[in-house]
Structure 1
Amino acid sequence: MSGLHLLSEILNSLLYILPAYVANASACIFGGGKPLDLNKCWPDGRRLLGDGVTIKGSFFGILLGTLTGFIEGLFFNAPLLYLKLGFTLSLGAILGDAIGSFIKRRLNIERGKPAPLLDQLDFAIGALILGSLIKPIAIHQVFIILLITIFIHLFANILAYSLKIKDVWW
């Protein structure tokens, strides 16, 4: 694979997943308030998701991610397709993050404590699963997205921590 072709694949992969990135970041930035699990507990006595996954954050994440998809669609002359893709990627990102929180609660990992790879990839995997129902993606692009997501997520978290948006740098 030539350098130019690789760069093209990376850019196409990033354009595909961009609504999920926006959804994930927006949920963090605009989160707070009532938790999505409504303070309900699993039979093990621990919260379903915890305080980090909120109704407001989920709503704004899905809304802004969907809007991102729509705007991309305007550039690609396919606004309806990208509106649907943006919605499914955003919904998948929020669901993936919620599933990650659920798993962390079952493993007795407290909110804010690290779960390497799960913390970085839960939203991306959720987004890719749902997004592929609307617009399939090549397996090599999935690997590109997952690899890049680890580094983007870490950089974004360090930035959010520096800006006092997050309490921890991971």
Structure 2
Amino acid sequence: MNYFPLDEHKKAWVFKRHDLPISEPDLATIKPMVTGRAGQLWQTRISKQSDHPDFFKKGDWPFNVNSWHSQGNWETQWDSDNAELPDEILTSIDWPDHTTVYFCCDKRNVIETQWGTFKRCWKNFLFMDDGSLLIAKKQLQALQFLSNGDYRLGSIS
């Protein structure tokens, strides 16, 4: 088994907020990975040497400044009544809504969902903004959400 129930996730509360409700169909697509599967994905797609975004170092693609081509602020939009991601993110990432994406908090905490679900529920996910990376299956684009309210757009290299 690659996933465990969302209710058992240590931060399940972010997906149960009354002020940021999530539909049942969207909740069904939010799948936390078991530790072993999360670690495997992290080592394959993020880093073989660092287990958390705070510890990226030379040799990790997220550490390489050339991996990132633009940045902006997500927090202003998150604090607003506007439910959409910042415009630059929406215009830069052109994945179909059914694209499988991975919200990678650290080596042991990866959540699989779909791009359409993430776009609708991004405010919930960003209660976990400690350098979390969003990557997609079979895509090279990447997005990182920093705890200072900024994001970075880039490419997996």
**TM-score bracket for the superposition, by shorter chain length:** under 0.3
TM-score between both structures, scaled by the size of structure 2: 0.28
TM-score between both structures, scaled by the size of structure 1: 0.26
- Give 1 or 2 for the bigger CA radius of gyration: 1
Q: 1 or 2, which has the higher strand percentage? A: 2
